[in-house]
Structure 1
């Protein structure tokens, strides 16, 4: 199959962005998802791409060459991506980060001997067999689970499903990072079973936690940050609105022999206001909220929400205390995130010192010319007065 694209579409690929939108496809094939050859209007060959006839993102670039794209092609590229992760000591990590690894719409995570993958475009779905064979060859997993339940698949005209594609994958897998154990849930947990993108940030704030101090972890979910804080803090307050999530967090604490975490079911906004009213202080605070801005239309309201929780966290941060704060909203870019934090610092009346800016863990690489890959922003801050 072949497609022709406009000059604007060709320019996007030339500038390093792998996507061409529906409006920049001049001539399409028979509306069948698959791998297509792309040409400009003058007939110049541009490359091979995944084609999704029902998506606004019509083409996702795979290769600028004309080579055969089969299971061997996919396995070679999965192996290359895996080798880039050499040195990761955690037992759960991302092997392929879609566009960040030049394998658009493909996510592959490794949980010990098991693999959880996502096929997020119609074009990729059409070559499911080749991709699965490639994963088996490159990674030799005991089982492969397809977590094809991401909302993005709806925009591709694809069904939502969770399917065992090879071997066996248990409901719960024990994983270890920086000496901390926790239970991932490949079949039912967030994303592919755990928030692997925050792994390095958990290490960072864990090692910055004041020995013998008091720590607060808001939006704790299964307690992954809280577990790291608890190794140095005297006491940790871990807060979430989900009783089920807190129960899993408590189970994770028991797995590590940790008994200094108090698990609280509460609304983070309400609790922060109450803690401020009571003039309580914490030496270490983590803010890891869900995405407040699901769409661009929600941006203003989302920024206001981020500012409120950060402002109140700054007010209850003890002198010399550390705050790690993050946003996983793609529409809240780094400039907006930084400006929001500066506004919160001014309104708090505190002197808030910048310590480090972070993003997703290194196995979730960002491409500078593909801003969509830079969804996670983090900031480590210190109160110096």
Structure 2
């Protein structure tokens, strides 16, 4: 197998045996500590040939001169990049990612169009909210002008009447040693003016979206879990960490009363706007989730359905023990507050807490609460967030739906 013509413009990068084994096992990241020369002469953001310790070609990768993830494999064990220009491949992969969503998604105007490594476009994330597309560039390579242009041209071709808005993560740009820039509109629709706010449909409900929001998006990875949770919901429901009401609004379709709790007032204000948009009447509580659950539990409050959807408690492996304690406290409180036959929907988006870890925590909480718990469904992220085999980081979301007796 030959390296690509583009890759041969830079000296090849040789991996240590551990780095080569990592690639052969299916992962696409190699850390700088696994390069034989940790400061190779490759240009920042360039495509490089990757060789094992014996000089055998493993494929082509995108190189970062500053990140601890030094290379992200772009073509593994095949000749895809040989004799083909890199921008053309990027454009084709964007088109393929969009085509995949067209095949597997229904009844939504909001989804993740490009999911970085899982769509073979490492360092690029694109979300769709009706007629607004948001783009995030996370690596030196994807910040190259020619690759930016390829991405933008492909998005314009498929969504000519959409605004393209770039969300900038200042910390990521600092780590990648990229020039500072501000978030803003980078592509206007063919007709009309650029938009920074819109309304989109998801699972038959309507939601507001504003690019000035505090989060990257509307937790699109939970879209299918929202619908699944609604099928089991009944009676009095509590949605903890509701953010803009994603679970709460879906629960309302089958529940007598729904309360959403979050400590962010701006998020709850959007949640109320979403409720009004759907002509729903929900209760919103601004509170710390741990304090609220404790007060409700001590007060003897009971519910038929409880959703726990906290932010990532373990952003790094060293936070694992603290995260498990946090998850257990939340789930223990919820289990004690559920009426017999009630439904618990418990989620974790912490990659460093595996499904096995999460299930063990839930089992311990159930034992301590003296409740019998039957697992009805074990779910992951929505289909627009595919899991790439060999890259466990793409398998981060856990959603457990259980009956509690």
| Residue of structure 2 in register with 1:171 after alignment | 196
Q: How does 1:35-74 map to 2 (within 5 A)?
A: 35-64=47-76, 65=79, 66-74=82-90
1:328 is aligned, of 349, 367, 382, to 349
Q: How does 1:35-184 map to 2 (within 5 A)?
A: 35-64=47-76, 65=79, 66-85=82-101, 86-88=103-105, 89-126=107-144, 127-149=147-169, 151-158=171-178, 159=180, 161-167=182-188, 169-184=194-209
Cα shift at 1:373:
0.8
| Residue of structure 2 in register with 1:4 after alignment | 13
CA distance in 2, matches of 1:117, 1:245: 22
Asked if structure 1 preserves the Cα contact closer than 8 Å seen for 2:168 and 2:181, the reply is: yes
Provide, for residues 354-378 of structure 1, a one-character-per-residue CA deviation record: whole Å limited to 9, x for no partner: 1111111111011231111111111
Q: Secondary structure at the match of 2:200?
A: strand
List gaps (5 residues or longer) in structure 1.
none
CA distance in 2, matches of 1:356, 1:48: 39
Report the CA distance shift for 1:81/1:31 in structure 2 as closer, same or farther (over 3 A). closer
CA distance in 1, matches of 2:47, 2:236: 54
CA distance in 2, matches of 1:169, 1:292: 36
| Residue of structure 1 in register with 2:211 after alignment | 186
Asked if structure 2 preserves the Cα contact closer than 8 Å seen for 1:75 and 1:138, the reply is: no
Q: Which is worse superposed, 340-349 or 289-298?
A: 289-298
CA distance in 1, matches of 2:226, 2:307: 9
Cα shift at 1:219:
0.6
Asked if structure 2 preserves the Cα contact closer than 8 Å seen for 1:33 and 1:52, the reply is: yes
CA distance in 2, matches of 1:357, 1:223: 22
What is the TM-score of this pair, normalised by structure 1?
Answer: 0.93
CA distance in 1, matches of 2:183, 2:364: 42
Q: Which is worse superposed, 56-65 or 148-157?
A: 148-157
| Residue of structure 1 in register with 2:34 after alignment | 24
CA distance in 2, matches of 1:160, 1:215: 43
Cα shift at 1:107:
0.9
Provide, for residues 237-272 of structure 1, a one-character-per-residue CA deviation record: whole Å limited to 9, x for no partner: 11111111111111110000001x111111111111
Cα shift at 1:90:
0.6
Provide, for residues 280-320 of structure 1, a one-character-per-residue CA deviation record: whole Å limited to 9, x for no partner: 11111110111111222221111101100100001111111
Asked if structure 2 preserves the Cα contact closer than 8 Å seen for 1:91 and 1:175, the reply is: yes
CA distance in 1, matches of 2:54, 2:194: 50
Asked if structure 2 preserves the Cα contact closer than 8 Å seen for 1:4 and 1:41, the reply is: no
Cα shift at 1:59:
0.6
**1:242 has 2:264 as partner:** yes
CA distance in 2, matches of 1:231, 1:220: 16
Asked if structure 2 preserves the Cα contact closer than 8 Å seen for 1:237 and 1:264, the reply is: yes
Q: Secondary structure at the match of 2:96?
A: helix
**1:366 has 2:387 as partner:** yes
Q: Secondary structure at the match of 2:167?
A: strand
**1:267 has 2:285 as partner:** no
CA distance in 1, matches of 2:54, 2:349: 41
Cα shift at 1:275:
1.3
**1:225 has 2:247 as partner:** yes
Report the CA distance shift for 1:203/1:150 in structure 2 as closer, same or farther (over 3 A). farther
List gaps (5 residues or longer) in structure 2.
1-9
CA distance in 1, matches of 2:247, 2:85: 41
Number of residue pairs aligned between Structure 1 and Structure 2: 380
Q: How does 1:255-334 map to 2 (within 5 A)?
A: 255-259=277-281, 261-334=282-355
Q: Which is worse superposed, 247-256 or 364-373?
A: 364-373
Cα shift at 1:169:
4.5
Asked if structure 1 preserves the Cα contact closer than 8 Å seen for 2:131 and 2:163, the reply is: yes
Cα shift at 1:31:
4.6
